[in-house]
Structure 1
Amino acid sequence: MTNEPSRHSWLRSFHGGYLLEGYTLTLVRGLSPQRFLELLGAEPQGDFAGFNAFVAQDLEFQEDEVDWGDNMFVGATRVRGQDVDWVLAVEINGGIEFQTDAMERATAGTRGVSHFRSPDAMRLFSWWEDGELRTRFEGALHRQGSTPDELNDLMRQVGCDFETGECGLEQYVALAEELTGVRVTPETLRDGVYSTGIVEIPGLPH
């Protein structure tokens, strides 16, 4: 495997850099979008064709929120891996993966990966296996989970720097691709049909 930063840099320019304001992308093997939302405990909000329609619905949801962050709007679409379908979930900003226990349920008996960037540029990558958080990191030097070092070789191969700790968005996209066999592209997001739902984020202070 060779690291190809240019092939994995599309996220920075996608939709005019829209996702740099905050996003979460999650992949879970073998689930339909509807089953994924069910396991998250989401309240269904309908299906929307294309990223533009999904964003419009997300903006409408945000405008109706009184206390922002108590709930998260998520869209899920089906994508093809090397040998099985996966679900790709998108949140604008986001937080379901690390602020709830939803991924424990969603990855029971299967694999999931998620990467996140906040509006203040905090970045997280998480790898789940059979309901267990195996590795999560913000930068190559700050790792946690039940097997925090298991991805180290793969992280180096995709370009994470274990001297400086730098591991950028290109590396997150590449690492997700290596762990899932799913190549997410701008067209994947642009053309997806998104089943949507609202997930409650419990226990946040007002």
Structure 2
Amino acid sequence: MNVEPSDRSWFRAFHRGFLLEGYTLTLVRGLSPRTFLDRLGAAPQGDVTGFDAFVARDRDFQDDQEEWGDRMFVGAALVRGRDADWVLALEINGGIEIQTDSMERVTAGTRGVSHFRSPNAMSLFSWWEDGELRTRFEGPLHRDGSTPDELVDLMRHVGFDIEGGGCDVEDYIALAEELTGVQVTPDMLEHSAYSTGIVEIPTADWTSVVIDVTDAHGTRTYVELPHPTHEQRTHEQR
């Protein structure tokens, strides 16, 4: 499946929208897949080639878990950006980046970006430099990190509605591409060789997610979302 550089709508159609049910996609500059997994502290689980094989291995892993959240399965592949090699890490649902301090270790001395969508429809974008969280947001109106406003012009450039607060997965993909020089494509996900590993997650760190936002009019939204169940983690539509 060939796509134009400006066409990112493929993500919604990829495997009939499979990843929209929940994914984490991370890019880190200059690391090999093995180094990435080592920095995560992942227990190696061997290599697989192709998206179908990766998903099958993830499904076997999930079937062996009694409760979702104690461990995460991740695959890492070497990809090429405009000026450097990057590691592309994929999780089905996942959430290693927001459940541990792993990105501090993984991005030491380099750059990383990650975008995430959960089965509860929560989504996040994160930009890291040398172990420091520079910008993180769900909607573009409310940003945190050490430099929460540094990406605003670039966000507008790629299509974010900053004032209206709207964004979608295509915006996340476009912003990640600008920050990394990596054009993620369906062929890349479909045919990459993934080195896989399992990351232990401290259960106490992930019982729920709290969204606490006050908008420009002073209206506060406070929602606590429980972590997904094993059933929510299981994709049956493929």
Same fold (TM over 0.5): yes
Match of 1:72 in 2: 72
Between Structure 1 and Structure 2, which shows a larger proportion of helix residues?
Answer: 1
**CA deviation vs aligned residue, 1:46-74 (integer Å, no higher than 9, x gap):** 00000000000000000000121111100
Q: What is the SS of the residue equivalent to 1:179? A: helix
**Offset of 1:6 from its aligned partner?**
6.1
CA contact (8 A) 2:115 2:124 kept: yes
How many residues get paired?
Answer: 203
Q: Which residue of structure 2 aligns with residue 157 of structure 1? A: 157
1:7-59 deviation per Cα after TM superposition (whole angstroms, max 9, x unaligned): 11211111111001100000000000000000000000000000000000000
The within-5 A match list for 1:53-72 is 53-72=53-72
- 5 Å matches for 1:52-201? 52-201=52-201
- 1:85 & 1:59 partners in 2: Cα distance? 29
Q: Is 64-73 or 5-14 further displaced after alignment?
A: 5-14
Instruction: Return the alpha-carbon distance in structure 2 between the equivalents of residues 201 and 10 of structure 1.
Output: 31
| Partner SS state of residue 8, structure 1 | coil
Distance 1:53 1:70 in 2: 23
Give the whole-Å Cα distance in 2 for the aligned partners of 1:163 and 1:110.
31
Aligned to 2:222: none
* Cα distance in 1, alignment partners of residues 48 and 89 from structure 2: 13
Does the 8 A contact of 1:5 with 1:170 survive in 2?
no
Identify unmatched segments of 5+ residues in structure 2: 208-226, 228-238
- Per the TM alignment, residue 5 of structure 1 is displaced from its structure 2 partner at its CA by 9.6
5+ long unaligned stretches in structure 1: none
* Structure possessing the higher relative contact order (Cα contacts under 8 Å, 6 or more residues apart): 1
Aligned-partner SS, 1:94: coil
Whole-Å Cα distance in 2 between the matches of residues 158 and 145 of structure 1?
20
Deviation at 1:120, TM superposition (A): 2.0
For residue 48 of structure 1, what is the amino acid of its counterpart? V
Distance between the aligned counterparts of 2:85 and 2:99, measured in 1?
26
Q: Residue deviations 1:140-197, cap 9 Å, x none?
A: 1111100000000001111111222011111000000000000000000000100000
CA separation in 2, counterparts of 1:58 and 1:6? 31
The 2-side partners of 1:180 and 1:6 are apart by 15
Please give the TM-score of this superposition, normalised by the length of structure 2: 0.83
* Cα 1:110–1:20 shift into 2, 3 Å: same
Q: Say which one has the larger Rg.
A: 2
Q: Which portions of structure 1, spanning 4 or more consecutive aligned residues, are displaced by more than 2 angstroms?
A: 203-206
Q: Does structure 2 conserve the Cα–Cα contact (< 8 Å) formed by 1:5 and 1:171?
A: no
Distance 1:154 1:6 in 2: 15
Conserved? CA contact 2:5–2:183, under 8 Å:
no
Equivalent pair of 2:110/2:129 in contact (CA under 8 Å):
yes
Aligned AA (1:58)? D
Residue identity over aligned pairs, in percent, reads 73
Q: Is the contact between residue 25 and residue 91 of structure 1 (CA under 8 Å) also seen in structure 2?
A: yes
